[in-house]
Structure 1
Amino acid sequence: MVSAYAELEGRMRDRLGGRECLYVPSCRFGLYLALRHWCEPGGRVLMSPVNDDVIFFVVLAAGLRPVQAPLDPRDGSIDTAAVPESVWRGLSAVLTTNLYGNPDPAPELRGHCDRLGIPLIEDAAHAIGSTVGGRPVGTYGEASVFSLSKHTGAKTGGFVALADPALREELAAARDALLHPTRAIGELAYLARPYAEAALRGTRLVGPARAAVRLLGKEEREEIRMPLRADELRRALPAAPSLTPFHSWVRVDMHDYRLRPGPGRLRRTTRRLARLDDVLASHRTGTARLLASEYGPPSAADEPPQPLFRVPLLVEDRDAAIAALARHRITTGYIYDPPLDTYAGEAFTDLSPAPEAAARFARHALPVDPRRADEVLGVLRAAGTRPARLSEAPGGAR
């Protein structure tokens, strides 16, 4: 087990220029581990309102109060210039999102965190190949957390990368104390899932296939956002920090998020990580095509393309665009609408001081797989999909 962890950690360490890496069973688990280590319960954490609701519940489970940041409407990155000084002064930490692989402004955020004496924690789940300021995403924070469920398609695993390697032993002990034992049935389901999904897709029975995939992956969302269940959430809050009272929210779409991996799971993950460079190259090529299209933000042509996990095209009628893509068996996921402050309300989060840009981006962003760039563009153009232009940002957005 230790040697398998070591191989995975070594591969990731090389990618991050020598940063110490600790294997974790999922990004959400790694974020909880990092937040618990660096943040005292009761603190406030600046985060993006256009983010997976699971991450919102991870912050709450860590005993922290989410503070929603203003965003640049072109790419969903944090707009540091629009964060009031009064908000900066009340923070205990900053948590980036790097939405779809578009980097948050880590150099600027690092400067603010240094000025305030608070930690920067990077959620790099979508950004395993992205760079910012000439450095890989994940090399600015005290900790950064990566997912192997995204670009690699392993559907399990991740890393916590550490600026201070001396913390490895302490965090490894905290990880091991939180892990659940390996379950044979869970390992069998994990190893069988790709074959079952492929067989069902081949039948073209979309309804049964979706139902079976939901059963295999325990995907529980019927809408974009999971039900908040406000009364239950209020009862859970006093028990934080702890994963247990928040388990029904944190586990959504990934019930094995804190499961100790078995050897089969680790072997498959290692094989997929070894092929990552080829995957990143295909994502980068498709990203360039999509961002150069009429649906990409006007500023996108000014920057070299990142190997985005999903490319957020900007369209006027997103529901119609999703329906057009679905008719060609192109599934759209990773939509985070409405923003978290609208979803959760001020009972559970500090509202963004400038929410309009995030709301516009969330309403018009159409995240698509860059590996299907040509198909996606062909469908959207044939359907008469109109691009949305959201570059006129309020406040200090770039």
Structure 2
Amino acid sequence: MFRLERLEEAMRGRLGRECLYVPSCRLGLYLALRHWCRPGGRVLMSPVNDDVILFVVLAAGLRPVQAPLSPFDGTIDVDSVEPEVWRGLAGVLTANLYGNPDPAPRLRARCDELGIPLIEDAAHAIGGEVDGRPVGSVGAAASFSMSKHVGAGAGGILAFDADPALREELARARDALLEPARLAADLAHAARPFAEAAVRGPVRRRAARAASRLLGPGERDGIRMPLRAAELAAAAVPAPDLATHHSWVRVDMHDYRLAPGPLRARRIARGFGRLDEVLRAHREGTALLRDTEWAAPGASAGPVRPLFRVPLLVDDRDAAVAALARHGIVTGYLYDPPLDDYAGPGFTDLSTRPGPARHFARHALPVDPLRAPEAIAVLRRAGVRPAAAPVTGHQGAVPGAGGGGG
């Protein structure tokens, strides 16, 4: 569609590489993993990430390998990846969690030495930079979300080095996975902003529940979705196969591979047109939050990034979440416990240094920078304390850190 062609063109200008529209970041990652990584291979990834991404890797017929992380910002700790972990990898998948960029240039250099691809998950990091380069311009491919900073509730971009033949191949692979556009879905998507506003506003409980139903089905009782281990093991037998993993990959976004109708395309284009304004607002809020007593060590150094969420490190994360909720500030994008504790050795290679990831997952409070002044005031009134610095022991384990993390 015309508007989406303009979106591709605009992203080409930002990244300096070819861009292909996809209905969601997760579908873009699936396409990238299928194209660049051999089935049956092992892929290094962050254990503090959405469980959907774990299932995307499994659907692509790949074995996740959980990387050691920084306990302060959740980025991949390249220097702590053991030599035996590097051996045999089929690829590396960054997370750029909350917009904090993983060290993509260093990872790319290591990947080039090994002859394997670096894939960038840039869902949280549109507009971000690493070592002076845009996030999403370093790896063999990168997948972006239009549901985060853009606020479109759908859509994504798969970016890769310019090659007309490759673009045609990826477009065919995308089109083979698309579900046809549906008028009812298009109308529901157009109504979504009004439902979201109703949920945020001071409406009656019954109206809020009705609006929530309009937003889509809720499939999580807690932070992580139910693993359903026996079914997941059976689904893995024919992998790579998106269809057998569909019930896991679709969670929180049932239309993740739906072709866009005109109303959906219009909303995506309209949201993207405001992106620079939104990025400025995210930078302003990030600047406020990174100067608070809960900010990670060193967070105030360097340029201010337009973080999607700012991970403050608090002593009692759940109490802080409750304090914010009492003032109408909803905390989402929690990823606790880490994926290796959640999925276990049946579905992933465990991290060799799990402690830092557990510490970060348990103490990170992702705050929307657009609500920074309110959030800071609430947390200070509630007496929220900063998290203690992690004390690492054998293999990076943090004493007292369990798999559940609260």
Fold equivalence (TM over 0.5): yes
Question: Match for 1:92: what amino acid?
Answer: A
TM-score normalised to structure 1 length: 0.96
Distance in structure 1 (CA, Å) of the matches to 2:117 and 2:216: 34
CA offsets 1:245-294 (integer angstroms, 9 cap, x no match): 11110000100000000111111111110110000000001001101100
**Map of 2:399 onto structure 1:** none
How does 1:275-290 map onto structure 2 within 5 Å? 275-290=274-289
TM-score by length of 2: 0.94
Change (3 A) 1:200 1:267: same
1:299 is the counterpart of 2:298 = yes
3-state DSSP of counterpart to 1:301: coil
What is the CA-CA distance between 1:216 and the residue it aligns to? 2.4
Matching of residues 177-196 of structure 1 within 5 Å: 177-196=176-195
Say whether residues 1:311 and 2:317 are aligned partners.
no
Question: Aligned pair 1:60/2:55, yes or no?
Answer: no
Task: Report if aligned partners of 1:297, 1:391 keep a CA contact under 8 Å in 2.
Answer: no
Cα distance, 1:244–1:386 mapped onto 2, change above 3 Å: same
- How far off is 1:324 after superposition? 0.5
The aligned residue for residue 121 of structure 1 is 119
Paired residue secondary structure (2:184): helix
Q: Give the equivalent residue in structure 1 for 2:94.
A: 96
Aligned to 1:373: 372
* Equivalent position amino acid for 1:341 in 2: D
Distance 1:392 1:165 in 2: 48
Cross-structure match for 2:404: none
Show structure 1 runs of 5+ residues with no match.
Answer: none
Write out aligned runs for 1:316-327 (5 A). 316-327=315-326
Residues 218-269 of structure 1: CA deviation (Å, up to 9, x unaligned): 2311210000000100110002111111111000010000000011111111
Distance 2:156 2:73 in 1: 24
Letter aligned with residue 169 of structure 1:
E
Is 1:79–2:77 an aligned residue pair?
A: yes
Question: SS of the residue aligned with 1:298?
Answer: coil
Shift of 1:5: 2.4
Q: Is the 8 A contact 2:178 2:258 kept in 1?
A: yes
Alpha carbons 1:141, 1:163 under 8 Å: kept? no
Highest RCO, 1 vs 2 (Cα 8 Å, sep ≥ 6): 1
Q: CA RMSD in A?
A: 1.5
Q: Shift of residue 200 of structure 1?
A: 4.3
> Which has the larger displacement, 114-123 or 294-303?
294-303
Contact 2:359 2:390 in 1 (8 A): no
CA distance in 1, matches of 2:361, 2:351: 14
Q: CA deviation at 1:159?
A: 0.3
Take 2:74 and 2:135, find their aligned partners in 1: how far apart are those partners? Answer: 16
User: What's the offset of the Cα at 1:184?
Assistant: 1.1
Q: Which amino acid aligns with 1:228?
A: L
Q: CA deviation at 1:4?
A: 2.6
Aligned AA for 1:21?
Answer: C
Q: 1:160 to 1:59 in 2, by over 3 A?
A: same
1:186-208, CA deviations, whole angstroms, 9 ceiling, x for partnerless residues? 11110111112323443433575
SS in 2 for 1:259: coil
Contact 1:360 1:390 (C-alpha < 8 Å) held by counterparts: no
| Structure 1 position 217, deviation (Å) | 2.3
| Contact kept? 1:72, 1:393, Cα under 8 Å | no
Deviations 1:166-192 (A, max 9, x none): 311110111111101011111111011
Residues 44 and 207 from structure 1, CA distance in 2 versus in 1: closer, same or farther, beyond 3 angstroms?
A: farther
* Match runs of 1:379-390 below 5 Å: 379-390=378-389
Deviations 1:91-127 (A, max 9, x none): 0000000000000001110111000000000000000
- Which 5+ residue runs of structure 2 have no aligned equivalent? 397-406
The equivalent residue for 2:361 is 362
Contact 2:152-2:271 at 8 Å conserved across structures = yes
The CA distance in 1 between the partners of 2:284 and 2:230, in whole Å, is 46
Structure 1, 121-130 or 4-13: larger mean CA deviation: 4-13
> How far apart, CA to CA, are the structure 2 residues paired with 1:84 and 1:39?
21
8 Å Cα contact 1:45-1:66 kept in structure 2: yes
Amino acid at match of 1:173: R
Q: Where does 1:16-55 land on structure 2 (aligned, <5 Å)?
A: 16=15, 18-55=16-53
Shift of 1:164: 3.7
Name the residue aligned to 2:132.
Answer: 134
Number of equivalences? 394
Q: CA deviation at 1:165?
A: 2.5
1:155 maps to what in 2? 153
Instruction: Mark the CA change 1:42 to 1:327 in structure 2 (over 3 Å): closer, same or farther.
Output: same
Q: Which residue of 1 aligns with 2:168?
A: 169
The alpha carbon displacement at 1:335 in A equals 0.2
